[in-house]
Homo-oligomer: A and B are copies of this chain.
């Protein structure tokens, strides 16, 4: 970061099924909460970045920048960013660049998605827009299918068992019980995960993050201060299609973005107290912990085996919010909601650093943000 940028307000809707609310309603609710949380009023916002993936297809609504702008009395300039499920993080990256450029002082970033209004077939097809339409769609793959292949390969390479994999979703669901904004707030015993219906073998229903509606917003400023500073923001990109990758059991873009973010923040992994990682599927969380450097290849599951703490590497709390699995995954909102939750975690624990890891597709766009609690 070439200047001090603070996170001065956060807000979100509960994630879940919001059949009675439009994209505009959901944005309005999250934006109002973020402004109420910040030491500013709406007129201080001089730019808006909106994150959304599917609105044009599933809600007949593109041009969400102008729609969000219309929520404020002075209609500041606005645009929308998209990078599939990493849309929220690239929105934050864009906002930080606008602040660092001197073009704005206080930016509202709002992510929104409304996925439950269309059929499961249609939302599955729409989500495949995150993959390569020329290489992955013709094969009949869906994202559960892609991550089913990844899970199979991982089990083959490293001997991960189905019983071990159960621990991931069980942990995230346990964490989500105390999150009032989580879509699912029931603890689910580990053995129930693999007893849920098969979706894409070996993955079962409870290995998959759900289809969700929701919005999340943050306000970033280099004019107004708070105790949460943005210490790093990095994006890394990989091939869009998994067919072009040398391996299915690692997402190298996560490694690259993490290394660059730690360098930007001038800290090491051991400094990270809280982590929110992109557990779109249980197997992704295992691989992510390895790519993030909190576990060696093949050993990511160990961080779940004894209450998250049985690692030779100092490891942060993982998805204490409940993650995508329990919180829900309205794709445009997820990357922003991770920042909302990490802000709460840092404030509550009074620890210094937290890391958000959000990816799009099968790791084709990987983003890492590091937050610093300046009270520590």
| Chain A positions near chain B (C-beta within 8 angstroms) | 2, 22, 24, 53-57, 59-63, 65-67, 69-70, 75-84, 90, 93-94, 96-103, 125-126, 128-134, 137, 234-240, 244, 360-361, 364-365
Contacts and interface: CB of A to CB of B under 8 A. Distances in A.
Contact of A365 (B57, B66, B128, B238): B66
26 contacts: A2-B102, A22-B134, A54-B62, A55-B129, A60-B125, A60-B129, A61-B129, A62-B84, A63-B83, A63-B364, A65-B83, A66-B84, A66-B237, A66-B239, A66-B240, A66-B364, A67-B132, A69-B237, A77-B237, A78-B365, A79-B365, A80-B83, A81-B82, A97-B98, A98-B101, A100-B102
Contact of A137 (B60, B70, B82, B239): B60
B60 A237 contact: no
A97 B103 contact: yes
A90 B70 contact: no
B79 A93 contact: yes
* Chain A binding surface SS class: mixed
Which one of A77, A236, A364 has the greatest number of beta carbons of chain B within 10 Å? A77
Contact of A101 (B55, B101, B130, B361): B101
A83 B66 contact: yes
Contacts of A70: 237, 239-240, 244
A67 to B, nearest CB: 5
Contact of A63 (B59, B84, B101, B236): B84
A1 to B, nearest CB: 9
A365 to B, nearest CB: 5
A143 B178 CA distance: 47
A357 to B, nearest CB: 15
A247 to B, nearest CB: 16
Given A79-B81, A81-B81, A94-B94, 5 more contacts: A24-B134, A61-B129, A62-B130, A63-B130, A82-B82
A240 B63 contact: yes
Nearest to A74: B237
Contact of A238 (B24, B60, B75): B75
